[in-house]
Every structure is written in C-alpha cells, then in structure tokens.
Amino acid sequence: MSEHPYQHIDLHTHSTASDGKLSPTELVTLAHEQGVSMLALTDHDTIKGLEEAHQCAHGLGMTLINGCELSVAWNKIPLHMVALGFEPDNQALKKWTQRNQTVRLERGRQIADLLVKKGLPDLYDKAVEEAGESQLGRPHFAKVMIREGIVKDMNKAFDHYLGNKKIGQIRDVWPQLEEIMPELAATDCELVLAHPKRYPVTVTKLKGVLADFKRYGGTAIEVASGHERPDHVRFLERLTREFEFEASAGSDYHGPFGPWTNVGRYTQVHEQEVRPIWYKW
C-alpha cells in the first residue's frame, strides 16, 4: 500500500475564496472523484466559499463540514487554527474572520512598505488586484514580482523577500490564543491546531503551545497534514494521547502542484491509536 493513499476524510482544504486554485465547486467535485466522502472547506479567515461548497456537496451526496483556518499567535509566534463544525451564523467566528481580513490588508500594506525600503517599487495596489476576491497574502506579492520581472519564480520571491526569515513575514498582527480561543470555544465549533510540526519551535515549546491550546478550549490537533513524515504523524498521535486531544487530518490542499498533493491525500493515520474528530459527523 502507498505511504500516502487517498482517504475518505479530508478536514483541511482551500478554495479560491482564500488562496486555493480551485473554486469551491471544483474542489468538492475533485474530492468526490478521489473518493472523499467527508470534506471540510477551511479557507483562510473567511467562510464565503461554504454556501457554494454545500450546494455542490449536496448534489453529490457528500458530507461537507463547515470550516475556517484562522491566523492566530502564541507568544508572538504565528500559528494556524482550524475551526470545524460551526453553524453559518456563528457570530463570534464572523467577528474574528472580519478582524483578520482587515489585518490582512494592513499587513499587506506593511509588506509593501518594507519591500520599498529594500529598493522595490510599491507593489501594494498590484498585489490587491492580483488577489481579487481572495484573501491578500504573500503569494500575491510573489506573483506580481514575477510578472514585473523582479524575480524568476515563486521560490526566488520567498527566498529573497517574502520568506519567514525575510522582511515579508510581519509578526505581532494576529490575535493571541488567549484573545480568540475562549470566545470561539464557548460556541458550537471544534478548534483544531493545524499542522503542528510546521512551526519553528522545539518539542518543549510545542508542548507549551499544546498546553495553552488545551487550556483555552482547543479540542484537537492535526496529526497528518498532507505529505507528512510518518514518524511525525506517529509523534503527533502520541501527543493527542498525552494532552487528551482528538485527532484531525487533512491534505491542506491548495491546488494541483504535484502528484504528492491532492484532495484526500495525506499520510495515513492509525485511527485505533487516536480519537478521530471526524467520528462526530
């Protein structure tokens, strides 16, 4: 069996409502073709793609879980948190998505200003135009840089200007866990720490993140996120038991960037070793 077989559950995907390549309808249709029976659309800081996704999923006989990936922070370290299973009229979630959308525009202005200080032209308006209806982010600046001949490709844009260690990464803008989590935890949603092994923290600090995530109302962590190393998945499975979290999993699909990434494709989870959050639905 392949190390990364297609799964029937995918609780982390993105559409053109944020930074994905496929429309909600295209994404749901592709998921159905890949044999996914339960899908969560988790666009960054927005839920505007959910209505379209639900219409398509209903027609295909799929279960579509309401989702949203929120940008948050722990001790000034940017993290991502996935909210799942909420009702469309969840006012607390709407409040924080609107707040983060405003922050994204302000952050974009900061990125543009810092790039100007590095000798680049002001790319803000062109990046906003590139983003269109989606959420403004660093990839939009990268695409403008390519089109303007500043860099050759996306990798060069991030290596030289926009990467986490470069000026494009603006910190101290997202809500801290203690600000946002208690309010959301008091509503009808599950709160999941997304891809815990991707953050630049030691194991000790990661356990500190998980302790606070649990304290403020978190219910699960993603034990598999796309093309994850199997030993990382096993490690995260152990952490779900240590901190008494449920386990979530998903492809974190953004688009067809290679054979290793697709809806429903991620390192296999040992369901018997964890408490799968998808059993709720």
Q: What is the pLDDT of residues 232-279, one digit of tens each?
A: 999 999 999 999 999 999 999 998 876 567 999 999 999 999 999 999
Is the pTM higher than 0.85? Answer: yes
Of 78-87, 163-172, 223-232, 251-260, the one with minimum mean pLDDT is: 163-172
**Per-residue pLDDT, 5:** 60
Structure tokens at 256: 């067809």
**Per-residue pLDDT, 6:** 64
**Within a domain: 171:** no
Residues 253 and 234 in one domain: yes
Q: What percent of the chain has pLDDT over 90?
A: 77
Sign of the CA dihedral with 84 first, then 168, 233, and 204 last: negative
State yes or no: pLDDT of 3 exceeds 70.
no
Per the prediction, the chain carries an average pLDDT of 92
Residues 116 and 188 in one domain: no
Which of 123, 116, 111, 118 has its CA nearest to residue 149?
123
CA distance 135 to 102: 10
Domain range holding 114? 99-162
**Per-residue pLDDT, 163:** 81
Query: How confident is residue 90, by pLDDT bands cut at 50, 70 and 90?
Result: very high
Contact 224/193 with Cβ under 8 angstroms?
no
- Of 162, 191, 216, the residue at which a domain comes to its end is 162
**Within a domain: 129:** yes
- Of 136, 162, 188, the residue at which a domain comes to its end is 162
State yes or no: pLDDT of 134 exceeds 80.
no
CA distance 261 to 27: 13
Backbone φ and ψ for 123, nearest 5 degrees, come out as -100, 5
User: β-pairing, 190-193 with 220-225?
Assistant: parallel
**Per-residue pLDDT, 259:** 58
- Of 162, 193, 208, the residue at which a domain comes to its end is 162
Residues 120 and 235 in one domain: no
Structural domain count, the chain: 2
Residues 268 and 180 in one domain: yes
For residue 47, the domain's CATH number is 3.20.20.140
- State mean pLDDT over 137-154: 92
State yes or no: pLDDT of 196 exceeds 80.
yes
Torsion of CA 79, 242, 228, 67, to 10 degrees: -50
Residues 118 and 147 in one domain: yes
Of 65-69, 180-184, 208-212, 265-269, the one with minimum mean pLDDT is: 265-269
Residues 119 and 146 in one domain: yes
Residues 60 and 134 in one domain: no
**Per-residue pLDDT, 243:** 98
- State mean pLDDT over 41-62: 97
Query: How confident is residue 1, by pLDDT bands cut at 50, 70 and 90?
Result: very low
**Within a domain: 113:** yes
State yes or no: pLDDT of 96 exceeds 60.
yes
**What DSSP element (H or E) covers 194?**
none
For residue 135, the domain's CATH number is 1.10.150
**Within a domain: 1:** no
Contact 5/251 with Cβ under 8 angstroms?
no
State yes or no: pLDDT of 173 exceeds 90.
no
